[in-house]
Structure 1
């Protein structure tokens, strides 16, 4: 489930750059962005533009709008910046960044080139911001351009630590962890207070699955500033990966307490609560965000998931159906189809269609295969045995997971009750191989029952050895009474087998008496005895004599 949350929770690009003139005020706003205090940052930049609407100030207000996803407002602000100061290249960088975010790379480059031309390629901040843009927008990145521009920024200002961060980010996008780490270290060397660099180094260690080293880097940022919210956010993700959900939630709550109580942060929090299975709490927060996010695909996804997990199925199906009308095809996840199928079942819909959706989800994302196990169980509980057998077989056949004895047990039961005894036999056989010693008792019990069904007329004897093994395991049990019924069924099978296959009336008689010892009213046993006693001397009724000795000739 983690993937679907972090598809929309991607890292915000928040940068700190040394400025002159109004630098303190600009840096204050950028610091707020770096702390995920978006509302506070917005207030700073809006006040700055109100008091002095320069091209530079308009750029940073537009930059803020990009970070909070208000792209129309960002564009308007950049255009105001161009109008206010046509010779300030940053506003053109802003317009180019918007185009790049939209995937219009050629048009974006034209704006970037205009920014360089206006500033005669002598403004380090222009090159830095262009480089930053090229690593900021997922799906539209260009690491080569990012490095080229960041390196030019460093030629103009060798102390621009953020330019090294851009080079590190570009290297990370090319999966070059060593180069990324080296450049992040250079950034820290120039500016030890650049705490986002500690976080990036931590993220680098997460990628290499060195979670302890990652935790150390996040804690370094916290040690430098206990109020540095992004470090707690990343710690929350780290502890989630480590399956330490209490610590994950603790750190996310710390993050929320430090960051702005903005709708965006509350939305992030609601998504994380679903990850740690706090579904009702997530729903409560999402309910307060309906006005802002009701037409967001992700909002409807989260509402659908959390509603299912809290047994609010009609509501959940409504939200998830709306989600599918909003999401782009490439944005659909395996878990979306899985939950759609679950909600259709929960609402009493077409179970075949529901199963198809869950299977579709498992094909998109093999991590979603677990959903097939749940569906198979629900089909079984509803006595839809054929569908249960199909679902559990799909689950067992899917790669990338460890199937256990319980999975084969469900497969065996589903196929048994679906009257597919060959498949049931195979499932119970595999189940037996996965268990040891006394635990095999259920496997032998059910394989014996299955083979008895395959040998319905009692002439083949294919269940005989399984019943004998079953009896042996029952004898070793402290509580034999719970197997009384199945032991009796085994005796009956063996009685019929001895009558029909072996023609051993004495043995059949013996098994019938064993049945009566368990239940004196057992009609099946009485019927066997009625048949055997017609042709069997009562004195020979106990264990096997007559059938193994030849009749003696009569004396004259």
Structure 2
């Protein structure tokens, strides 16, 4: 979805800002981290690890910046240096745990978290970062409930140790917020503000709560309050921009205004950060969130010229797929997936690569990629709908039916149309090349479900149930008429229409012809046979069964 199409290219031209002389205190470095000025923070902290090389805290916060920038290997190296300085450094063990957690190494993470809390004693700060660690590896931008509960448990212990540690209170608020427990989240943010009224981050976090409640005016009020505390607090502008995007998506009447405001707010955010490569990557994240795929492809293409960060290839793959530039998408996707560390690959990567491959007629590769997406994240059951569609197009009907059945059993988004596709797939599998009656049973099960759930009779479903029943009635020398009630119902439903398409005329004629055959051979009722074949011919003069019947009868009953 194109939501930020008017984002100015001036954003890309902003130059690095910031003072050439940084304050060298740890507190100033922490303020830079909070303001998302990561390059500035790293410069100060690297200096501090040299000038104050015996203080393990300096190493921890440097490592923490690397975690925030998604460089976990660099983070681990720095945390281990902090432990070398102080073997009992609870903070650096917490950092190692967070890095392992982000890398999906839960066993190592748990061991390091336990070591951190053991060494922490009554110091609440390591608990705060252990708690944040449990929030650091969301899936599809959602923190798993079990991880959130683990965070809340450890942060509650920290709060009991030191009720006035604002880091703990903010982290606890964030943990509750990930699970939409907004009352508890607000309570902790307010508690932090009562201790330190100048916590701009607490105001921003409160604004985010209102954003997800779609109370955008209250969000803006909180962001403005944060900027009243600190006019240079960049995260307030970033969250304000993302709120404007959500507002635009929620209210089409406000879309144009809010898209422009989002652009302005994000420009301010970038100007207040250090415009490092990481800031531009965060800008790319914003473009993903906003659905501005054209701008994202432009940004990612420019970044790819100078950046060695493989994540740029991910952005190129996503944006190129959305922009239907499939060769570029496949090239970027293959680069990302083959060169990035396996732990960095997420389900969405295979999802986009698979879509680009299928769109490029590389169906087998595409289906394999979509299956890998599901293997990485079983909440991505929707991929089986796409797999089913691809297999059906390749006339691999039984596999298509299986894919739709899997989709419907695992996804909460399945519709009656998906049941129709499942049933059609199994029916065609039987009809084309595999006379296995279990396929007919599966097909009819899907069609039957639609008949039970639909509020009114669905003509195509009735017709396919007739086809299935007729296929079961294979012995033409001993016809049972299994399809008769379905064809009669189809005639009743279609006959009620005031006008028919050419396709409906042909299927209606086929229904009459079936009944004609039934009465001629099963019931031996020549009058009803002639009556139905006549209706078949009147509806579709080219109907082969009707033509054959009247040919056999020497043209008898013509026109009656």
Q: TM-score, with normalisation over the residues of structure 1?
A: 0.69
In the other structure, the counterpart of 2:530 is: 509
RMSD over equivalenced CA pairs, Å: 5.0
Q: 2:171 aligns with which of 163, 169, 193?
A: 169
CA contact under 8 A between 1:233 and 1:255: conserved in structure 2? yes
CA spacing shift, 1:533–1:28, aligned 2, 3 Å: same
Could you tell me how far apart the structure 2 residues matched to 1:111 and 1:367 are?
Answer: 33
Q: 1:195 aligns with which of 176, 197, 200?
A: 200
Q: 2:235 aligns with which of 217, 226, 230?
A: 230
In the other structure, the counterpart of 2:463 is: 445
Q: 2:315 aligns with which of 298, 302, 308?
A: 302
Deviation, 1:485, is: 0.6
CA contact under 8 A between 1:379 and 1:385: conserved in structure 2? yes
Deviation, 1:495, is: 1.2
Deviation, 1:180, is: 6.4
CA contact under 8 A between 1:170 and 1:180: conserved in structure 2? yes
Structure 2 unmatched runs, 5+: 1-21, 101-107, 137-149, 432-438
Could you tell me how far apart the structure 2 residues matched to 1:357 and 1:331 are?
Answer: 16
Deviation, 1:65, is: 7.1
Matched residue SS, 1:225: helix
Deviation, 1:465, is: 1.2
Q: 2:250 aligns with which of 239, 244, 257?
A: 244
Deviations along 1:151-171, one digit per CA (max 9) or x if unpaired, are 8888xxxxxx6x233255258
Q: 1:487 aligns with which of 466, 487, 508?
A: 508
Deviation, 1:453, is: 3.2
Q: TM-score, with normalisation over the residues of structure 2?
A: 0.69
CA spacing shift, 1:42–1:147, aligned 2, 3 Å: same
Q: Does residue 1:387 correspond to 2:406, yes or no?
A: no
Deviations along 1:311-332, one digit per CA (max 9) or x if unpaired, are 3334333433343345555554
1:535-554 alignment to 2 at 5 Å?
Answer: none
In the other structure, the counterpart of 2:374 is: 362
Answer 1 or 2: higher relative contact order, Cα 8 Å, separation at least 6: 2
Deviations along 1:501-544, one digit per CA (max 9) or x if unpaired, are 1111221111222222224454431321233469x8x6xx999x
Could you tell me how far apart the structure 2 residues matched to 1:520 and 1:278 are?
Answer: 54
Aligned length: 489
Deviation, 1:428, is: 1.9
Q: 1:377 aligns with which of 385, 389, 393?
A: 389
CA spacing shift, 1:339–1:71, aligned 2, 3 Å: closer
Deviation, 1:212, is: 5.4
CA spacing shift, 1:94–1:392, aligned 2, 3 Å: closer
Deviation, 1:469, is: 1.2
Deviation, 1:393, is: 1.5
Q: Does residue 1:429 correspond to 2:430, yes or no?
A: no
Structure 1 unmatched runs, 5+: 1-21, 122-126, 155-160, 544-556
Q: 410-419 or 228-237, which moves further after superposition?
A: 228-237
Could you tell me how far apart the structure 2 residues matched to 1:76 and 1:369 are?
Answer: 38
In the other structure, the counterpart of 1:518 is: 539
CA contact under 8 A between 1:412 and 1:427: conserved in structure 2? yes
Q: 356-365 or 482-491, which moves further after superposition?
A: 356-365
CA spacing shift, 1:391–1:276, aligned 2, 3 Å: farther
